[in-house]
Amino acid sequence: MIATTRSERSVGEPTLYVGFELSQQTWKLALTSGMGATPVLRTVAPGDGAALRRVLAEARRRLGLPAGARVVSCYEAGRDGFWIHRLLTTLAVQNRVVDSASIEVSRRAKRVKTDRLDALKLVAMLIRVCQGERGVWREVTVPTAAAEATRHGSRERTRLVQDRTALRNQVRSWLVTWGTAVPRDAHGAWWTTVRDWADHPLPAALQARIARAAARLALLDAQVAELDAAQVARVGTAPAASPAQRLVALKGVATTSATTLLDEGLVWRAFRNRREIGALLGFSPTPFASGAVQHEQGISRAGNARLQSTMIQLAWQWVRWQPLSPLSQWFHGHFGPGRRPRKVGIVAVARKLLIALWRWATQGIVPAGALLKA
């Protein structure tokens, strides 16, 4: 009797395993037919589909595989993104994109690292995964081309807001060095009216620098406003029962937050349970238990950074605008008025809230006690 893996494929089915080690100049390929077979190493130019076809056909012949044997491959997620995955899919290759941080490495002080060794290690781990071994690595969910293109808008907005905040802080720091500050009614060429600590006008060079910074701030404000308008139009044209319309219908959830959640994969990642959602967010405990030593190392931050910041903001808005929600009442009941306890407790609210929003967006299950906008 032939054993089968979790994917219901026969372990004895002829398969060509390929591990890709990618670089800007070349792609190193390690190809083998399974455990015990000597891998074949080949090098191709990046993105050369014709060369890939030739290498795969040659490897099948050399390893004694049928011409129609299935091909399974893997590569590490990185700067190249997912276009390589789509290229391999067009070549009828079953590809896996691997999270680089989840690959096991030697803990010696110094280890040998070359493209050849990395490709060989990847293909050996790929065989273990295909044979049903669990926990070898973690795979990245590949978005569709449309989903990947759509999230550029929210990511660009996040970057522009960060640049705008940094520029405003720079202007404030320049004024601090002269014993003054930005006036509350800062309109027009306000820097020409600011006086320093000795009641003198600001130096001409500093005024010119602030003027150039103000021009950049005006451009950033215009670009952020343009992206905000695009997000509002996108949500406004969505169907009534769409995830976007459902999210913005909740009090405390604005268009920007809803767009970020959807762009980062609240729906297209096709979560199967709440644990997968928690893994993406990364707000999970990290216990340390070895022998008689047992303690908690704190909350893990190994998650989507944009999703984490968005959910923390949403959690604070939720406890403010959804006072009848059991989640808000739990937060107020377990964490007192102290600032430190509330900052710790809001992380738990963010994790639970994300699960509730996922169920509402995908299944239409309204969060308990939630209020909808008029």
- Return the domain boundaries, the chain: 15-130, 150-237, 244-363
Architecture of the domain spanning 15-130: 2-Layer Sandwich (3.30)
- Residue 1: pLDDT over 50: no
Taking residue 137's Cβ as centre, other Cβ atoms within 10 Å add up to: 19
| DSSP-derived 3-state class of residue 62 | helix
Q: What is the C-alpha separation between 305 and 326, in angstroms, rounded?
A: 27
pLDDT digits (tens, 9 = 90+) for 113-155: 899 999 999 999 999 999 999 989 999 999 999 999 999 999 9
Q: What is the C-alpha separation between 322 and 370, in angstroms, rounded?
A: 6
pLDDT-derived band at 207, boundaries 50, 70, 90: very high
Structural contact between residues 141 and 215, judged by C-beta atoms closer than 8 angstroms: no
pLDDT digits (tens, 9 = 90+) for 215-236: 999 999 999 999 999 999 999 9
- pLDDT for residue 349: 94
| pTM over 0.75, yes/no | yes
Q: What is the C-alpha separation between 211 and 4, in angstroms, rounded?
A: 69
Q: What is the C-alpha separation between 218 and 7, in angstroms, rounded?
A: 55
Mean pLDDT, all residues of the chain: 91
Chain center to CA of 140 = 10
- pLDDT for residue 362: 94
pLDDT-derived band at 11, boundaries 50, 70, 90: low
| DSSP-derived 3-state class of residue 8 | coil
Q: Which segment of 78-87, 110-119, 315-324 scores lowest on mean pLDDT? A: 110-119
- pLDDT for residue 16: 95
Task: Determine the length of the chain.
Answer: 374
pLDDT-derived band at 7, boundaries 50, 70, 90: very low
pLDDT digits (tens, 9 = 90+) for 157-167: 999 999 999 99
pLDDT digits (tens, 9 = 90+) for 252-296: 999 999 999 999 999 999 999 988 888 888 887 788 888 888 888
pLDDT digits (tens, 9 = 90+) for 352-371: 999 999 999 999 999 999 99
- Residue 10: pLDDT over 70: no
> Which of 100, 168, 130 shows the shortest CA–CA distance to 8?
130
- Residue 246: pLDDT over 80: yes
Q: What is the C-alpha separation between 232 and 263, in angstroms, rounded?
A: 14
Chain center to CA of 300 = 15
Structural contact between residues 192 and 201, judged by C-beta atoms closer than 8 angstroms: yes
